[in-house]
Amino acid sequence: RSQMLEQLYDTSDELMELALQEAPIPKDLLRSVIREATLHELIQPVLCGSALDFIGVQPVLDAVSKFLPSPADLPPVEGTNPKKKDNRETRGPTLDDPFCGLVFKIEVEKTGDLAYVRVYSGSLKASTRVYNPGKDKKENAAQFWHIKPVGKAHQIDRVECGDIVGVIGLRHSVTGDTSCDTQQPMLLETIDFPETVMSMAIEPESSTERNELADRRDLMRCQ
């Protein structure tokens, strides 16, 4: 702790004054200084733990909440207009901007493919048509799910900017695709993956096989 404070004194006059006075340092002030120094890339917090043994997981999540930037701390996300490639578009983390999100993961569920979407701007109600500008396809965002541990996820009827949700109904979307407002489209930068040495995909051919695949995945999670 003393080594951490020594480094933080250089980033905060208020913290330095308390140190010179040998006065107690309030926890709220210390957290505020760590957050500001982290946001300005002056320090990089390091936490120890083991995800395999569930040691230190909660402190890591608490640190993400306390010290890392929220969407409101970051500049608007940029993209291109799919109909006018030279036109740059921006979306801020506000409800006033049109809906825009990025699919960053796909999972097989018994009810259909579950697309994990990070919502950058706007809001969207369930069973609403959205646009995939990369594939020029309109899709139906039928259901929204808040992602929690196995068996504890619950369905919601609306998502807003800043949410990370599971969406059922995006039949044409894959990892890296944009999902946006049909009237005001914007194509986000896709996710670049390094080339693999060897890859394999498993896809169910029937609803029965889909259920079996989902059961096997849930069993592996529990183990």
Give pLDDT, residue 223: 52
Q: Which residues on adjacent β-strands are paired with residue 218?
A: none
Q: Tell me what the pLDDT averaged over the chain comes to.
A: 88
- At residue 177, φ and ψ (nearest 5 deg) are -80, 150
**Band of the pLDDT at 221, cuts 50, 70, 90?**
low
| Per-residue tokens: 63 | 């640190």
- Averaged pLDDT for residues 83-90: 85
Structure tokens at 73: 């701390």
The pLDDT > 70 percentage for the chain reads 94
- Name the nearest CA neighbour of 123 among 153, 157, 154: 157
Q: How far apart are CA 115 and CA 117, in angstroms?
A: 6
When pLDDT is cut at 50, 70 and 90, the band that residue 214 belongs to is confident
Average pLDDT over residues 82-106: 91
- Cα 177 to Cα 65, 89, 191, distances in angstroms: 27, 16, 8
Amino acid at the residue 44: Q
- Phi then psi for residue 20, to 5 deg, are -65, -30
Confidence at 218, pLDDT banded by 50, 70, 90 = low
Cite the DSSP H helix spans in the chain: 2-9, 13-20, 27-39, 57-67, 207-222
Q: How far apart are CA 216 and CA 202, in angstroms?
A: 13
Q: Which of 107-111, 134-138, 179-183, 198-202 has the lowest mean pLDDT?
A: 107-111
Measured CA to CA, the distance from residue 63 to residue 47 in angstroms comes to: 9
**In 3D, which of 94, 88, 147 has the Cα closest to residue 119?**
94
pLDDT grade, residue 220 (50/70/90)?
Answer: low
pTM > 0.75: no
